[in-house]
Structure 1
Amino acid sequence: MMRAWGVALGALALAGCAAGAGTPPPATQAAAPQDVAKLRQVGAAVLFWSQEERFKNFPAMETIFPGTTAKAGRKVRALPKGAPLPIAEADVSAFMTAQNMTGLLVLQDGKVRLERYARGYGPEGRWTSFSVAKSVTSTLVGAAIKDGYIKSIDDPVTRYIPDLAGAGYDGVTIRQLLTMTSGVKWNEDYTNPNSDVARMFAEAVPAGQDPTVFYMRKLPRESDPGVKFVYKTGETNLIGVLVRRATGKSLSAYLEEKIWKPYGMERDAFWMTDQTGAEVSGCCLSVSLRDYGRIGQMALEGGKGIVPAGWFADATKAQVSFPGGGYGYQWWVPAGGIFAAQGIFGQSIIVDPANKLVMVTSAAWPRASDRALAQERLAFAMKVQAAAKE
């Protein structure tokens, strides 16, 4: 299994380094004018921060951008100490230094076998997740299905977001949004300030329109739905719009109700919002290191009571395949029996069900995606897996 996990992570390293239908949720507080200006630049600004700015800002996004909070409950799910992993401290330190890493956590059987922090980050802090948030957003779809707000992932997206009708999303299902196979054209190039991922909040939005819907409905269709996988942060933002409209609740409120309090998260979560006060669901959820571990543990355990039975079995298997692995419902599914949530600049939650392992990394890589750093993370993950068997 160790070799299988290594092959799988190698593929992962290259991967993306009851309201009525369509009813908006209760009004949220729109961003102040100065925040709107920041949000229009958020893609380019965050993607092209200096290294010093990344170290300073990644643990403090709530001081820079507007957002909402999912409150932790009184009952915290314990993460008891397990036997320390037999990995030399020098190896752990060298790995964290090479990765610009600020947090590293390994759980096995729900017990902490390795936990380290650096550069002033600690258990009381939060760190931004970037696209790790996608896997959380998809879990809220499962919760909404269990609660009866959404009938099926085979429903058309326009049933819940009717203002997408007449655009490239006609005939696209929720399942195709979850698996990034809508057929709508998109550019996720993190190095290009003119890419869709950098520009989606850059334009002024007419009053009364949702910023994500406004941008996404202008995109052309490039293939039939269900045929071609293209990684699109904007589509996870659409999933967030869909959940808000289906449930009539903000994402943070629903996250708090369905996951944060029932599962026993330890710290409040911060979720960045757009200029209308709605959460940017494809990104920008800030969570403590241990609570990222609990997210992985929840998925490993199947999310009983949160999502329908079998949801995570489907969400974390390859619904679409490509060389080296595949993609589920907003989870990366490399070969080798593992699944992962992954964000740019070194964020990850890697889950190995066979060995009941969860490994979390919080970092500030010098580039959004980096092949060499991803391979280093792969090598360390293999070392963790081997050590966990001793």
Structure 2
Amino acid sequence: MRWTGLIAAALLAGTATAQSAPQTNAPPAPVNAGVAITDQNRAHLQQIGAEILFWSQAQRDENFPHMEKLFPGHVVSAGRKVLALPPGPPLPIPATEVDAFMRDQNVAGLIVVQAGTVRLERYARGLTREGRWTSFSVAKSFTSTLVGAAIRDGFIKSVEEPVTKYIPDLAGSAYDGVTIAQLLTMTSGVKWNEDYTDPKSDVARMFSIPVPPGMDATVAYMRTLPREAAPGSKWVYKTGETNLIGVLVGNAVKMPLATYLSERVWKRYGMERDAFWMTDATGREVGGCCLSVSLRDYARMGQLAMEGGAGIVAPGWFAEATRAHADTGRGPGFGYGYQWWTYPKGRFGGVGIFGQSITVDPASKTVIAIVSAWPKATDDRFSQARLAFVDRLFATAKAPLTRHPQRW
């Protein structure tokens, strides 16, 4: 899966400017408006953004829970109502097996929620239940959920509407005739190079061109791209298109994404902690990246999607969002929905570099959220080991409950 460019491009863009955000009653590590950008510290922050892929393990452990100390962003405020996640029967899996997985994968947090109850919850690397951890590309699934909310609220009529209706600056570009659905599924047909080793790739150059006054930085670049295939005919992972989704929602609802996420998801569903969302060069939240969220709230997001989001998104939204609309070439059962990855056995989830994931198994009503600090942004060995362990957890959750007095 192609996640690395989200840091090389989107995070670097996020160092360019900041907008103020309201202060809140945050957890012990305070959420704030992020780092204020001045001419003096701009170069320093851009350097940090460029170096994230090469941070040491100590830097990852220190910074992944505290990205608001390094980058500008907005607060996603929690409400007074919190959706309870009461304890359930402990998952009958040996503690040594969990310990080994967490150690081998540099896991900071692991939670298994089944039928709304917590069956396993573990923290490490200094993370606590009160803390937050950066999402990287898991944020894509949150952003697409805001499209479903905007449809329910009447700000967007349908995913079959043209993208240019909500982003007029794309008119006359290769995005003419592209629908919101095709943007969500990354099947626009617009040519894109996401080669992170190529300094001339689109993901590397996305924020390098001059931006006309009043235009979003992502839009300014994306409207220069040519078309390579008919809309809807070809899937290509495009960091820039997820950022466009964020622009589209912001234009439709006429408020910051953090505010809309707070009002429509965080407060309505009962998220427990304030979140933090990094902003880009124009002061907008980076649609495809960089939410800092508590482990339990990551699990609640998976549960929201599994339950269907009644009263929050349009009816049937998550059923459509979490089914395969595009073939990603990974084999049977693997596909791409509305910014959600789809897996065999009817499962789906969100994934971010350095080991972040939400995985949902509707059949067993189980959500597994993992936040990590892998030594590499992407690693096939780590990915396969995580997939195997998640399968093990799902299988354990499905097993009939047998009372063990020494465990319960």
TM over 0.5: same fold? yes
> 2:86 matched to which residue of 1?
80
Partner in structure 1 of residue 238 of structure 2: 232
The CA deviation at 1:36 is: 5.0
Unmatched 5+ stretches in structure 1: 1-13, 18-26
1:383 maps to which residue?
392
Q: How does 1:1-390 map to 2 (within 5 A)?
A: 31-33=37-39, 36-37=42-43, 44-192=50-198, 194-321=200-327, 322=329, 323-324=331-332, 325-390=334-399
Shift of the 78–193 alpha-carbon distance from structure 1 to 2, 3 Å rule, reads farther
1:107-153 Cα distance to aligned partner (Å, 9 max, x none): 00011111111111111111110111000100000000011111111
* 2: CA distance, partners of 1:291 / 1:67: 19
Aligned to 2:359, the other structure's residue is in SS state: strand
> Contact 2:322/2:340 (CA < 8 Å) preserved in 1?
yes
Measured on the aligned residues, the alpha-carbon RMSD in Å equals: 2.0
CA contact (8 A) 1:31 1:276 kept: no
Match of 1:7 in 2: none
One-letter identity of the residue aligned with 1:358: V
Q: With structure 2 as the length reference, what TM-score do the two structures score? A: 0.86
Per-residue deviation, residues 140-170 of structure 1 (Å, max 9, x unmatched):
0000001111111111111110111122211
Change (3 A) 1:177 1:37: farther
CA distance in 2, matches of 1:183, 1:97: 42
| 1:46 Cα offset (Å) | 2.5
CA distance in 2, matches of 1:160, 1:374: 37
CA contact (8 A) 2:323 2:336 kept: yes
Cα 1:41–1:199 shift into 2, 3 Å: farther
Tell me the CA shift for residue 32 of structure 1.
Answer: 3.9
1:68 touches 1:252 (CA, 8 Å); kept in 2? yes
Task: With the length of structure 1 as denominator, give the TM-score of the two structures.
Answer: 0.89
Say whether the 8 Å CA contact 1:160–1:245 is kept in structure 2: yes
Distance 2:198 2:111 in 1: 32
Q: Are the counterparts in 1 of residues 138 and 289 from structure 2 also a CA contact under 8 Å? A: yes
**Conserved in 1, the CA contact under 8 Å of 2:277 and 2:292?**
yes
Shift of residue 16, structure 1, vs aligned partner: 5.4
Work out the CA distance in 1 between the residues paired with 2:42 and 2:212. Answer: 13
Q: Quote the Cα distance in structure 2 between the aligned partners of 1:36 and 1:145.
A: 37
Give the letter aligned to residue 56 of structure 2: S
Distance apart, 1:45 and its partner CA: 2.8
Secondary structure of the residue aligned to 1:257 is: helix
**Which sits farther off after the overlay, 56-65 or 40-49?**
40-49
| Superposition deviation, residue 103 in structure 1 | 0.7
| Structure 2, gaps ≥5 residues long | 5-17, 21-35, 400-408
**Aligned partner of 2:181: which letter?**
R
Once the two structures are superposed, what CA deviation does each residue of 1:301-325 show, in whole Å capped at 9, x if it has no partner? 0000001111100000011124332
How many pairs were matched up? Answer: 368
Partner SS for 2:277:
strand
Which stretch of the first structure deviates more once superposed, 309-318 or 35-44? 35-44
SS in 2 for 1:362: strand
- Equivalent AA in structure 2 for residue 185 of structure 1: K
Deviation track 1:204-236 (CA, whole Å, cap 9, x = no partner) reads: 534322111112112222211111101112101
Structure 1 residues 340 and 57: CA distance shift in structure 2, 3 A: same
> Contact between 2:19 and 2:74, CA under 8 Å: does it hold in 1?
no
Deviation of the 1:276 alpha carbon = 1.9
Aligned residue type for 1:140:
L
Aligned identity (percent) is 64
Q: 1:38 to 1:348 in 2, by over 3 A?
A: farther
Change (3 A) 1:197 1:110: farther
**Residue type matched to 1:306 in 2?**
I
Contact 1:43/1:198 (CA < 8 Å) preserved in 2?
A: no
How far apart, in 2, do the equivalents of 1:284 and 1:32 lie? 21
Larger RCO: Structure 1 or Structure 2 (Cα < 8 Å, ≥ 6 residues apart)?
Answer: 1
Q: CA deviation at 1:51?
A: 2.7
